[in-house]
Amino acid sequence: MVVMDSTTLMLLIDPEAKPPQDPKTRKPVQKSKERIEYLLETLNASRTQVLVPTPVLSEVLIRAGAAKGQYLNEISGSYALRIASFDQRAAIELSMLFDSDLNKFKKLTDIQTKAKIKFDRQIVAIAKVNGVKTIYSDDGGLAIVAKQNGISVVPTWDLPLRPVKAQAELEFGQAPGDRSRS
């Protein structure tokens, strides 16, 4: 099981989503939607389910505007995606995350910063209680919290593209590896 954060999920479901900036090139990640689609195909092939924590769902629906219903149908109707609630176990886990770095929070004064940090920690708490070891996200703050809690984070710019040969086969109407039309 893995988690997909809103930064990654938006690239999958929103045709207008802007790609993140690659920190190495300082330019938008090339073919980011294709990278996410290939990731989802790879996860499906390995029967790995993608959790969408409810804080992520709310972020996506807020960004969706008038397309809220469409986005919710796409997410909840997908076999590959499963919505994971912020439940009692996640609430307990979140309280332990806050206990571990309470001094850091005393230094923050910006309410939005505090709210963002709480959201990131809710996502990590949901991931932890569901046994998730990987989060797909471009959010640096979320990455820090996840890594501190033993969860790896994979940003869009580190996702591979579909191999060229497999892409060519798809374009010519063959399933990757199918030689029956050769």
pLDDT digits (tens, 9 = 90+) for 4-26: 999 999 999 998 899 999 999 99
One-letter identity of residue 180: S
Spatial neighbors of 42 by CB under 8 A, at least 6 apart, are none
Whether the per-residue pLDDT at 134 is higher than 70: the answer is yes
Which of the four pLDDT bands, split at 50, 70 and 90, describes residue 110?
low
Contact between 118 and 59 under an 8 Å Cβ cutoff? The reply is no
Average pLDDT over residues 28-49: 94
Q: What is the pLDDT of residue 93?
A: 86
How far is 131 from 158, CA to CA, in rounded Å? 23
Q: How many CB atoms lie within 10 A of CB 34?
A: 14
| Domain ranges within the chain, ordered by starting residue | 2-166
pTM across the whole model = 0.81
How far is 140 from 153, CA to CA, in rounded Å? 9
Which of the four pLDDT bands, split at 50, 70 and 90, describes residue 29?
very high
Whether the per-residue pLDDT at 170 is higher than 80: the answer is no
Which of the four pLDDT bands, split at 50, 70 and 90, describes residue 179?
very low
Q: Which fold has domain 2-166?
A: Rossmann fold (3.40.50)
Q: What is the pLDDT of residue 173?
A: 61
Average pLDDT over residues 58-84: 93
Q: What percent of the chain has pLDDT over 70?
A: 79
Which of the four pLDDT bands, split at 50, 70 and 90, describes residue 180?
very low
Higher pLDDT, 166 or 83: 83
Q: What is the pLDDT of residue 112?
A: 40
